[in-house]
Amino acid sequence: MRLKLRAFILSLLFAGMPSGLAAENIPTLHAKVTYPVVQELMGGCSLRCAFFWETLAGNPAKPAPELCDDDAMTGWMAPDDWKNVPITFRLPEKLPRDCRDTPFYGLSVANGAIDSPQAFRSHARVRTMLLSLNGKPIARLTLADTWKWQDFRFGDVLLNQGDVISLTIEEIYPGKESQQPVLTEIVLQGAH
């Protein structure tokens, strides 16, 4: 019951929110920096326990499976013109009945090229991203400049078939050699 009430309140809030909502009117969430990103700790429970999604990045959007592949040695590199480049997670058009109204309450990010300390400093890293659901902003995420996991939590948002979660890069930490930001992994948290 509590979950449905929260979803109802969120729907009322977002229903009157124009899709072009000014970014300064949404909450800013700061990362909780946790443990190092190492291959031995990749994977585990996430929103994937409910369903798989399609991961796309760029403009035009192209498949970006390396963002959700449970591999600490692979990463997605944004194009030279990285500002406002969207990363999208499209939910299936048909979900099993027991996966409707699935809670989405956070995400974990491995920021930068983390396959070596040299690669991490050579490439740019993401400083801020805008998190949206179906084109409506939810929060601005402020990431730390670290190769450790960064966790973000927010009130439950209920996901349904065809929903689109998007992250839009707004600012970066400059790299020594490349200003193209790299993200190694994004884990959508929810379902349980």
Give residue limits of the domains in the chain: 26-190
| Six-digit token string for 33 | 């920096």
pLDDT given for residue 52 in this prediction: 81
pLDDT per residue over 79-89, tens digit each?
A: 888 988 899 99
Rounded average pLDDT over 50-69: 89
| Six-digit token string for 89 | 């997670």
**pTM for the full predicted model:** 0.82
With CA atoms as reference, report the closest residue to 104 among 168, 24, 35, 10. Answer: 10
- Which of 9-13, 92-96, 173-177 shows the lowest mean pLDDT across its residues? 9-13
For domain 26-190, give the fold: Jelly Rolls (2.60.120)
| Cβ-based neighbour number of residue 93 at 10 Å | 7
